[in-house]
Amino acid sequence: MITLTATEENYLKYIYQLGEAQSGLVKTNDLAYKLEHSAASVTDMLKKLADKKLLTYTKYYGVSLTKTGLHIAKKVLRKHRLWETFLAKNLKFTWDKIHDIAEQLEHIQSDELTDKMDEYLGFPKFDPHGDPIPDKQGNISIPNVICLADAKLKKQYILQNVNDDSAIFLKYLNKIKLQLNDKIKIIDKEEFDETMEMLINDKMRITISNDAAKNMYVKSI
Amino acid sequence: MITLTATEENYLKYIYQLGEAQSGLVKTNDLAYKLEHSAASVTDMLKKLADKKLLTYTKYYGVSLTKTGLHIAKKVLRKHRLWETFLAKNLKFTWDKIHDIAEQLEHIQSDELTDKMDEYLGFPKFDPHGDPIPDKQGNISIPNVICLADAKLKKQYILQNVNDDSAIFLKYLNKIKLQLNDKIKIIDKEEFDETMEMLINDKMRITISNDAAKNMYVKSI
DNA sequence: TAATTTTTTTAGCTTAGCTTAAATATTTTA
DNA sequence: TAAAATATTTAAGCTAAGCTAAAAAAATTA
């Protein structure tokens, strides 16, 4: 069993997340931007991880994870999302605070701990942001969602997933009292700037910008 | 608020624990032995920590923690013991496994997390090994115990505290089914090698070596 | 398609935290 | 109390993981 540093694990995690959107191929610069490191540092690390057979690296072209690399990336994500669930559900943290702490906790090395936490939490399938939690085998439940920005007028939806990248955005959701599983009815969409007017849980009327809508995912009902 | 690396925190923690026994003065070699590093590395780090005003370092003489250093050391110990409590009580880990995981968890940086965990666990005063958990202010409940090796014949005791330094010892305790808060009556003590014969909870008869007795602490009843 | 721009890599440096070997203090012991 | 043993520090060097600046490759555009 190979043990990686927190840094190496983060590389694999972000490569996985960036690759998820597309074919699995990730460019040096995109990673550098995500990690907030110089492209040169990223190149260095990619070579190192390629030597360890965790990814395949082709100069000037990009990287993609090997089977082993993918497995580790999912495990890190699994730990991250299990910890987020614990922080939110059990410790009553607000969701704008859990991400940063989970970024640390995801690197704790103990499979037994991970699995006991999973059991302790009742084998949750989604974390507090609505993101799927990989199970012990790495299986992921894929929720059938669309972006709120693409939601149709007059239709009804349930808020399933929010983007957890930005604490500012999550703080904003706290402020407007919008929560996961809330019922959303699209009342109006302004043509000019795509601002949306919505009815939440059949009683609260709110207006959100297109920027905000782009960070939310809903399931139609 | 200064943030230290896990390595720096470990130095402070061990200096605190080694110093506790005596006047607070800790020698380079003792630390080197505890940390399993070369004495030269330790000297380097001590200088660095002295520069940061976390300890006072006198060449060839030794180190002792400053007020700030002491505060941080206690905080690390607090986190370590809170996590051990969580692992044992909530996740049902056996006590020989919790130390190594807590060694990692103790470096998670979030005062809010520490305090929420404390509350979640019901503000425990002692961890699963019987060691005191410093409270938010750094106060420590000192249990009134004596070493089992010094316990008197025919007298009755309660097992209050065990040494958690060695997983092998803790595994041994698991095997002989000895637990914290068990009632112990000393039946006999062999003169030759100080092996002790004891009655546990008025029913189970066991024999333990002096080496084992030295790692246990009891309160007389 | 040639020139320009962007992306990526290479080269050389920095810091943290370790190492061993050699030098210097301190302590022990004969 | 002088020699020997032990403890500690200094010196030099290593690796991981970052950096900047310069070079090279790839992509874009005129």
B30 token code pair: 């003792």
Distance from CA of B120 to the nearest CA of A (A): 7
Instruction: List, as one string, the DSSP characters of A123-186.
Output: --SB-TTS-B---TT--------EEGGGPPTT-EEEEEEE--S-HHHHHHHHHTT--TT-EEEE
Q: Is the pLDDT of residue A2 over 90?
A: no
- Do the Cβ atoms of B87 and B98 come closer than 8 Å? yes
Q: Does A93 touch chain B (CB under 8 A)?
A: yes
CB atoms within 10 A of CB A214: 14
A23 token code pair: 């074919």
Distance CA A11, CA A69 (A): 10
pLDDT for A4-28, tens place per residue? 999 999 999 999 999 987 788 999 9
B33 token code pair: 């032995």
Q: Is the pLDDT of residue B143 over 90?
A: no
- Pick the residue of B104, B106, B107, B117 with the most A CBs within 10 A to test the interface with A by mutation: B104
DSSP summary character for residue B95: T
> Using CB atoms and an 8 Å cut-off, which of residues 104-123 of chain B contact chain A?
104-105, 108-110, 112-113, 116-117, 120
Nearest CA in chain B to A90: B120
Q: Is the CB of A3 under 7 A from strand D?
A: no
The residues facing B26 across adjacent strands are: B63
Q: Does A125 touch chain B (CB under 8 A)?
A: no
Residue B27 is predicted with a pLDDT of: 97
Provide, rounded to the nearest whole percent, the portion of chain B with pLDDT above 90: 92
Inter-helix orientation angle A167-175/A98-105, to 10°: 140
pTM over 0.90: yes
Which residues of chain A make contact with B117, given a CB cutoff of 8 A? 91
- Do the Cβ atoms of A219 and A144 come closer than 8 Å? yes
pLDDT for A129-151, tens place per residue? 999 999 999 999 988 899 999 99
Residue B108 is predicted with a pLDDT of: 98
Residue A164 is predicted with a pLDDT of: 82
pLDDT-wise least confident of A80-89, A155-164, B71-80: A155-164
Distance CA A220, CA B12 (A): 55
pLDDT for A158-209, tens place per residue? 999 998 878 899 999 999 999 999 999 999 999 899 999 999 999 999 999 9
pLDDT for A85-95, tens place per residue? 999 999 999 98
How confident is residue B32, by pLDDT bands cut at 50, 70 and 90? very high
Residue A217 is predicted with a pLDDT of: 96
Report the residue from B101, B112, B116 with minimal CB separation from A113. Answer: B101
Residue A195 is predicted with a pLDDT of: 95
Residue B152 is predicted with a pLDDT of: 93
Distance CA B202, CA B157 (A): 11
Please give the mean pLDDT across all residues of chain A. Answer: 95
Which residues of chain B make contact with A108, given a CB cutoff of 8 A? 101, 104-105
Chain B 57-76 residues in 7 Å CB range of strand C: 59-60
Report the residue from B108, B116, B117 with minimal CB separation from A104. Answer: B108
pLDDT for B166-206, tens place per residue? 889 999 999 999 999 999 999 999 989 999 999 999 999 99
Q: Is the CB of B29 under 7 A from strand D?
A: yes
Strands B196-200 and A196-200, bridge-based pairing: unpaired
Residue B34 is predicted with a pLDDT of: 95
Could B91 and A113 be called an inter-chain contact, meaning their C-beta atoms sit closer than 8 Å?
yes
The boundaries of every CATH 1.10.10.10 domain in chain A are 6-65
Residue B165 is predicted with a pLDDT of: 79
Which residues of chain B make contact with A112, given a CB cutoff of 8 A? 93, 97
Cite the beta strand spans of B139-213 per DSSP E. Answer: 146-147, 156-162, 183-189, 196-200, 204-208
Which residues of chain A make contact with B104, given a CB cutoff of 8 A? 108-110
Distance CA A96, CA A102 (A): 11
Encoded amino acid at B154, one letter: K
- Pick the residue of A113, A118, A121 with the most B CBs within 10 A to test the interface with B by mutation: A113
Residue B166 is predicted with a pLDDT of: 84
The residues facing A157 across adjacent strands are: A184, A220
DSSP summary character for residue B4: -
Look at residues A170, A169, A172, A202 and name the one whose alpha carbon lies nearest to residue A187.
A202
Look at residues B198, B178, B208, B13 and name the one whose alpha carbon lies nearest to residue B103.
B13
The boundaries of every CATH 2.30.30.90 domain in chain A are 146-220
Q: Does B162 touch chain A (CB under 8 A)?
A: no
Q: Which architecture, in CATH terms, is B146-220?
A: Roll (2.30)
Q: Does B88 touch chain A (CB under 8 A)?
A: no
- Classify domain B6-65 at the CATH topology level: Arc Repressor Mutant, subunit A (1.10.10)
Could A112 and B97 be called an inter-chain contact, meaning their C-beta atoms sit closer than 8 Å?
yes
Which of chain C's bases lie under 7 Å from a protein CB? 7-12, 16-22, 25-26
- Do the Cβ atoms of B112 and B168 come closer than 8 Å? no
Give the side-chain half-sphere CA count within 13 A for A178: 28
